[in-house]
């Protein structure tokens, strides 16, 4: 009974973390899809704030990112990077680089925390379904 309760709690925690992460990802994707075909300059102030908030940057920072990606060779070098990384890599000084590094670190921590929460619950689920099966253990020493 106690095992089932713990498993249930772990499952709820992981699903909550996963749901939050999925919701944020879906919001970011829907914003990107909605705004993809509209010139940035034609978006309303609220729409620009929404886009910037997805990346945890100011509207001014996001506008700077758009200028970089439109008017510099960075549009070719960094086309697969997110706005925070582009802003960090094109920063003029260490203070700016640190600002964007901290934002990126926070975003990465949120993502990894969610992924690890799910992994813990997944591992518990496998153990509950296959209690007598041991996980694969790789022996680093070759047996002679």
Domain locations in the chain as residue ranges: 2-129
Q: Does pLDDT of 144 surpass 60? A: no
b/e per residue 10-36 (b: at least 16 CB within 10 A): bbeebeebeeebeeeeeebeeeeeebe
The average confidence (pLDDT) of the chain is 81
Q: Is the pLDDT of residue 23 over 60?
A: no
- For the entire predicted model, the pTM comes to 0.60
Answer for the pair 51, 62: CB distance below 8 angstroms, yes or no.
yes
pLDDT tens per residue across span 74-130: 888 998 999 999 999 999 999 999 999 999 999 999 999 999 999 999 999 988 998
């Amino acid at each position: 009974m106690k095992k089932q309760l713990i498993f249930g709690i772990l499952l709820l925690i992981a699903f909550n973390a996963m749901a939050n992460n999925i919701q944020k990802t879906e919001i970011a994707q829907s914003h990107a899809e909605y705004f993809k075909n509209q010139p940035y300059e034609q978006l309303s102030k609220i729409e620009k704030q929404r886009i910037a908030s997805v990346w945890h940057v100011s509207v001014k920072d996001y506008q700077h990112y758009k200028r970089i990606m439109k008017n510099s060779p960075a549009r070719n070098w960094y086309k697969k990077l997110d706005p925070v990384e582009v802003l960090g890599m094109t920063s003029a000084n260490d203070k700016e680089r640190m600002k964007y590094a901290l934002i990126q670190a926070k975003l990465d921590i949120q993502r990894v925390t969610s992924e690890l929460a799910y992994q813990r619950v997944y591992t518990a689920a496998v153990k509950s379904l296959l209690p007598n099966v041991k996980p694969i253990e790789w022996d680093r020493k070759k047996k002679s």
